[in-house]
Amino acid sequence: MPRNTAIKTVLIIGSGPIIIGQACEFDYSGSQASRSLREEGIEVILINSNPATIMTDSVTADHIYLLPLEKKSIVEILKKHQIDAVLPTMGGQTALNLAIECEKAGIWKKYNVQMIGVDTNAIRTTEDRELFRQKMIELGVGVCKGRTANSYLEGKEIAQEIGFPLVIRPSFTLGGTGGGFVNKPEQFDNALKHGLQCSPMHEVLVEQSIVGWKEFELELLRDKADNVVIICSIENFDPMGVHTGDSVTVAPAMTLPDTVYQKMRSLAIKMIRGIGNFTGGCNVQFAVNPATDDIVAVEINPRVSRSSALASKATGYPIAKIAAKLALGYTLDELKNPITKTTSACFEPTIDYVIVKVPRWNFDKFKGADTTLGLQMKSVGEAMGIGRSFQEALQKACQSLEIKRNGLGADGKELTNQAEILHSLEFPSGGRLFHIYDAFKLGIAFKTIQKLTKIDKWFLQQVEELVLIEKEMGKYQLDTLPKQLLLAAKQKGFSDRQIAHAMSCLESAVNKHRNDLGIRRVYKTVDTCAGEFEAKTAYYYSTFDGENESHPSDKKKVIILGSGPNRIGQGIEFDYSCVHGVLAAKECGYETIMINCNPETVSTDPDISDKLYFEPVFWEHLYDIIQHEKPIGVIVQLGGQTALKLAEKLHRYGVPIIGTNYESLDLAEDRGRFSDLLKSLSIPYPDYGVIEDAEQAVELGRKLGYPLLVRPSYVLGGQSMKIVINDQELEQHVVNILNEDPKNRVLLDHFLEGAIEAESDSICDGKDVYTIGIMEHIEPAGIHSGDSNALLPPFDLSENVINQIETYTKKIALALNTVGLLNIQFAVKNEKVYIIEANPRASRTVPFICKAYQEPYVNFATKVMLGEKKVADFTFNPVKNGYAIKVPVFSFNKFPNVNKELGPEMKSTGEAIYFIDDLQDDYFVKLYEERNLYLSR
Amino acid at the residue 927: L
* Alpha-helical regions (H) of 89-184: 92-104, 107-110, 120-127, 129-139, 152-162
Q: Candidates 469, 572, 626, 852: give the one binding another protein (CB under 8 A).
A: 469
Cα-flanking dihedrals φ and ψ of residue 859, to 5°?
-60, -50
Q: Candidates 257, 656, 705, 754: give the one binding another protein (CB under 8 A).
A: 257
611-614 vs 591-596, strand pairing mode:
parallel
Q: Is 815 exposed, middle or buried (0-12, 13-18, 19+ CB in 10 A)?
A: middle
Please enumerate in sequence order all residues whose Cβ is within 8 A of that of 464, keeping only pairs 6 or more positions apart, or say none: 440, 446
Stretch that binds another protein, among 71-79, 92-100, 542-550, 808-816 (CB under 8 A): 542-550
Count the site residues for another protein by CB under 8 A: 63
Q: Candidates 62, 101, 119, 472: give the one binding another protein (CB under 8 A).
A: 472
Q: Candidates 259, 480, 739, 897: give the one binding another protein (CB under 8 A).
A: 259
Taking the least distance from each CB to another protein, the nearer of 487 and 681 is 487
Q: Candidates 165, 212, 276, 290: give the one binding another protein (CB under 8 A).
A: 290
Smallest gap from Cβ 49 to another protein, in A, equals: 39
Taking the least distance from each CB to another protein, the nearer of 259 and 682 is 259
Stretch that binds another protein, among 196-204, 480-488, 692-700, 862-870 (CB under 8 A): 480-488
Q: Which residues pair with 74 in a beta bridge?
A: none
Smallest gap from Cβ 500 to another protein, in A, equals: 20
* C-alpha to C-alpha distance for 362 and 910, rounded to whole angstroms: 14
Residue 344 engages another protein in binding (rule: CB under 8 A): yes
Taking the least distance from each CB to another protein, the nearer of 233 and 598 is 233
Q: Which residues in the 364-403 window bind another protein by CB under 8 A?
A: 388-390
Closest CA to 212 of 453, 394, 402, 448: 453
Residue 261 engages another protein in binding (rule: CB under 8 A): yes
Please enumerate in sequence order all residues whose Cβ is within 8 A of that of 440, keeping only pairs 6 or more positions apart, or say none: 446, 449, 463, 464, 467
Give the strands of the sheet with 249-251, arranged side by side: 295-301, 280-288, 214-222, 228-236, 249-251, 354-360, 381-387
Taking the least distance from each CB to another protein, the nearer of 525 and 785 is 525
Q: Candidates 76, 101, 189, 348: give the one binding another protein (CB under 8 A).
A: 348
Within a 10 A sphere around the Cβ of 535, how many other Cβ atoms?
20
Taking the least distance from each CB to another protein, the nearer of 313 and 567 is 313
Q: Candidates 20, 24, 85, 332: give the one binding another protein (CB under 8 A).
A: 332
Apex CA 886: angle with CA 883 and CA 891, to 5°? Answer: 155
Residue 532 engages another protein in binding (rule: CB under 8 A): yes
Q: Candidates 346, 358, 499, 738: give the one binding another protein (CB under 8 A).
A: 346
Taking the least distance from each CB to another protein, the nearer of 545 and 740 is 545
Cβ atoms of 174 and 151 closer than 8 Å: no
Give me the DSSP letters along 409-440: S-SS-----HHHHHHHHHS--TTHHHHHHHHH
Q: Candidates 44, 98, 198, 229: give the one binding another protein (CB under 8 A).
A: 229
Smallest gap from Cβ 517 to another protein, in A, equals: 15
* Sign of torsion over alpha carbons 576, 907, 904, 756: positive
* Element holding 38 (H helix, E strand): helix 25-39
611-614 vs 539-543, strand pairing mode:
parallel
* C-alpha to C-alpha distance for 21 and 89, rounded to whole angstroms: 16
Q: Which residues in the 85-144 window bind another protein by CB under 8 A?
A: none
Chain length of the chain: 937
* C-alpha to C-alpha distance for 826 and 832, rounded to whole angstroms: 10
Residue 252 engages another protein in binding (rule: CB under 8 A): yes
Smallest gap from Cβ 316 to another protein, in A, equals: 13
Taking the least distance from each CB to another protein, the nearer of 492 and 851 is 492
Residue 519 engages another protein in binding (rule: CB under 8 A): no
Stretch that binds another protein, among 46-54, 96-104, 249-257, 619-627 (CB under 8 A): 249-257
Stretch that binds another protein, among 192-200, 229-237, 358-366, 494-502 (CB under 8 A): 229-237
Q: Candidates 39, 161, 333, 930: give the one binding another protein (CB under 8 A).
A: 333
214-222 vs 280-288, strand pairing mode:
antiparallel
Residue 524 engages another protein in binding (rule: CB under 8 A): yes
**For binding to another protein (CB under 8 A), which residues are involved?**
225-227, 229-230, 233, 252-259, 261-262, 265-266, 290-293, 331-333, 342-344, 346-354, 388-390, 456-459, 461, 465, 468-469, 472, 484-485, 488, 524, 529-534, 545-547, 549
